[in-house]
Amino acid sequence: MNLAKLKRMRVIVSLVFLFCTALVFLDYRNLIPENIISGILYLQFVPSLLKFMNAVGLSVLGFIIVILLTLLFGRIYCSTICPLGIIQDALSWIARKFKKKRKRYYRYSTPHNLLRYTILAVTVLVFLFGSVLLISMLDPYSNFGRFMTYFLKPVVVDANNNVSSILEEFDIYALYPVLLTKVPFKILIWPIIVLVLVIWLSVTRGRLYCNTVCPVGALLGLMSKVSLFRIGIDGEKCTKCSLCARVCKSSCMNYNEASVDFTRCVGCYNCLTVCPAEAVKYLPQTTGITRSMNWKNTGHIPESDDKPDKNKRTFIKGSMAFFLGMAGMKMIQDTPVNKKPTEVPEEKEFPVSPPGSCSIENFNDQCTACTLCVSACPTNVLQPSFMQYGLSGIMQPHMDYHSGFCNYDCTICTDICPTGAILPVILEEKKLVQLGIAQFIRDNCIVHTDKTDCGACSEVCPTKSCHMVPYEGSLVIPEVLEETCIGCGACEFSCPTTPYKAIYVNGNAIHMVAEKPSEEELTVPEGDDWPF
């Protein structure tokens, strides 16, 4: 097989993946069916791993496929599947077009192994101790998701709204405008930091982010040490022309010593394409060809001899990370917090986590804040939280009943969540999932204060748990039936009082099952006579 074809294939497949993944986040009309969305995100490493750990079922095996691919061919995930990796490639490709010729090329550099494995170890440890905080901050897929939802989707929606308003002038109402809830700046701080870092590193140093910061990159890098197929340099054929190192985004081609740091290789196959002497090979390691090429002919020390040393180092780093992790735990462990003791009317005891998340704790443990659900939610009720869940849950979405309410007949978020933080719920079950219970504050209510009819809360209640009961004169005032309330927040959203609502939903730390609203037989007097 022509090795040049490998690179072309990689480029095509990666662009398809990038396009599809981006589309999933930008699909503001929910046009893509849920199962296709899960298909597109099937191979995303971290979400798939988390979903698997939540014991959802063995059908979630995307990460195992990725591991197998890595064990066979190296970090294919990083080049072709990881959306953040692909945009880095695209950025550095564009940047190279504008650079001076001398600066246009990469060169070999030593790995930042200490930093790299420390980040990995700390992330893993913090995760093992029960917080996904670092995973959600560093996971490339989740970061990509946040870029899409926070930075690109508003642009797309704005474009849609502008085009639709122009088309309407010509009496074409094919595009409806879309409303977006503005994300507070404090939520955007971390995504901006990562975006700047990613752009800067990819423009100047290729894939340095993936080989230093990204924990997935580090983990797959460790695995690729034992990959079946590896890239190696044939010391006999190599003319030391340096072309391979110049095109290597990972800076891992050490042509002087005819060795390749395969832990950093993201499998972009640029080197295979450019080598004029056909000295760069991509062959099974067990055939012995690579072995002879790499070590015997160049007289270089076999890689296996390096291993004990590295293991020792990783161990030291690991234990260091352990203590770091332990230190961090104290801050993280106390979620969800009781913000206030009960009986404080305006303050919610718990935030409301989305339907299907089962409990706030489960949600906090699984969600990597990729914001796919935020992007897909048709009513904008899912909004990123800041400190509502505590530090560990930063950026994770919560039900924000000031920007919308949960549509009674909708299960989109439960169907698409790739990490298993929101588990699939069938519609009939979802209608009974009690996210929280509405609390009525009579002293804030219009009916009580103004002595006029309102009933906005009862009007929108899908289960009529918030119903109107006689008050003074002919007035009616809301009353909440807690058994059937599902905490959808329609009442809270609709309540017109300011600044505090007269009705609000207090989240359930553990989701409950509400009673089904009663369906009594309707007694209607029969008859065809006219009442007038």
Partner 1 sequence: MTCIRIIRFAGLYIQTSTYVTYYILFRIILNSLINSEFRNKFGKKVVISRVIQDVYIIFKTRSVMKRREFFRKSVGAGLVTGAALSLGGYKKIWAATPVSSEQFDLVAVRGGEPGVMLDRGIRQLGGMSTFVKPGQTVVVKPNIGWDALPERAANTNPLMVQEIVKQCLNAGARQVYVFDNTIDEMTRCYRNSGIEKAVKDAGGKMVPANTEGYYSEVKIPGGKRLQSAKVHELILESDVFINVPVLKNHSSTRLSLAMKNLMGVVWDRRYWHSNDLNQCIADYATYEKKPHLNIVDAYNALMRNGPRGVSKSDVTNMKALLISTNLVTIDAAAARMFGMEPATVSFIRKADEMGVGSTNLENIKISRINI
Q: Which residues bind partner 1 (CB under 8 A)?
A: 16, 19-20, 23, 29, 32, 35-36, 38-40, 42-43, 57-59, 61, 161-162, 164-166, 168-171, 173, 176-177, 179, 378-379, 407-410, 446, 450, 452-456, 458-464, 467-468, 474, 476, 494, 496-497, 517, 519-522, 524-525, 528, 530-532
User: Residue 395 or 460: which CB sits closer to partner 1?
Assistant: 460
Nearest distance from C-beta of residue 81 to partner 1, angstroms: 11
User: Residue 60 or 238: which CB sits closer to partner 1?
Assistant: 60
Q: What is the rounded (10 degree) CA torsion for 466, 341, 343, 459? A: -20
User: Residue 167 or 228: which CB sits closer to partner 1?
Assistant: 167
Q: How far apart are the first and last CA of the chain?
A: 88
CA-to-CA distance for 416 and 125, rounded, in angstroms? 28
Classify burial at 159, counting beta carbons within 10 Å of its beta carbon; exposed 0-12, middle 13-18, buried 19 or more: exposed
User: Residue 176 or 500: which CB sits closer to partner 1?
Assistant: 176
Which ranges of 99-150 does DSSP label H, i.e. alpha helix? 113-128, 133-138, 140-146
Nearest distance from C-beta of residue 432 to partner 1, angstroms: 13
- Report DSSP state, residue 255: G
CA-to-CA distance for 453 and 475, rounded, in angstroms? 6
- Degrees, nearest 5: CA angle 481-411-459: 35
User: Residue 57 or 184: which CB sits closer to partner 1?
Assistant: 57
CA 432, chain centre distance (Å): 27
Nearest distance from C-beta of residue 452 to partner 1, angstroms: 4
Nearest distance from C-beta of residue 42 to partner 1, angstroms: 6
Classify burial at 424, counting beta carbons within 10 Å of its beta carbon; exposed 0-12, middle 13-18, buried 19 or more: middle
- Report DSSP state, residue 359: B
CA-to-CA distance for 373 and 87, rounded, in angstroms? 22
Nearest distance from C-beta of residue 528 to partner 1, angstroms: 6
Nearest distance from C-beta of residue 418 to partner 1, angstroms: 12
Residues in the chain: 532
User: Residue 43 or 125: which CB sits closer to partner 1?
Assistant: 43
Q: What is the rounded (10 degree) CA torsion for 151, 155, 161, 162? A: 150
CA-to-CA distance for 412 and 362, rounded, in angstroms? 19
User: Residue 279 or 495: which CB sits closer to partner 1?
Assistant: 495
Alpha-carbon distances, residue 377 vs 28, 183, 220, 442, 495 (angstroms): 9, 14, 33, 31, 21
Nearest distance from C-beta of residue 378 to partner 1, angstroms: 5
Q: With H, G, I as helix, E, B as strand and everything else as coil, classify residue 32.
A: coil
Element (H, E) at 223: helix 215-224
Nearest distance from C-beta of residue 296 to partner 1, angstroms: 41
User: Residue 388 or 484: which CB sits closer to partner 1?
Assistant: 484
User: Residue 110 or 498: which CB sits closer to partner 1?
Assistant: 498
Nearest distance from C-beta of residue 196 to partner 1, angstroms: 27
